[in-house]
Amino acid sequence: MGYGNAMMRDHFIVSAINTINDGMVWLYPEFTSALILELPAKESDNEIELQKLTSRERDVALLLKDGDSYKIVAQKLDITPRTVKAHAGQIYTKLDLKDRLGLALLLR
């Protein structure tokens, strides 16, 4: 296993620990994405749900539903992981969800 793979694995371990400490369920992102891709999409329902969010929350939600970590979302949106976590909390509250898996299933 190369150095890059070890760092990626360490990142997922830290992410899993943080997620579990927050009382949520953590699944390997590629596994979650593969499961979600198997589900049929409902575009009109997705749009109705996304209208409940601010523009930035929508950006964060769409990246989180694809399995990106808080760190990756932060890099893509040029914000901090802590800000991503705050947006995620607001997203879950506004959409009445418990976690990222619920978000991914809702926005599939």
Q: What domains, with CATH codes, occur in the chain?
A: 3-106 (1.10.10.10)
Which pair of structure tokens corresponds to residue 64?
A: 């989180």
Amino acid symbol at 74? A
Nearest-5° Cα angle at 92, 64 to 23: 90
DSSP state of 40: P
Mean pLDDT of the chain: 80
Q: What is the pLDDT of residues 62-106, one digit of tens each?
A: 899 888 889 999 999 999 999 999 999 999 999 999 888 888 888
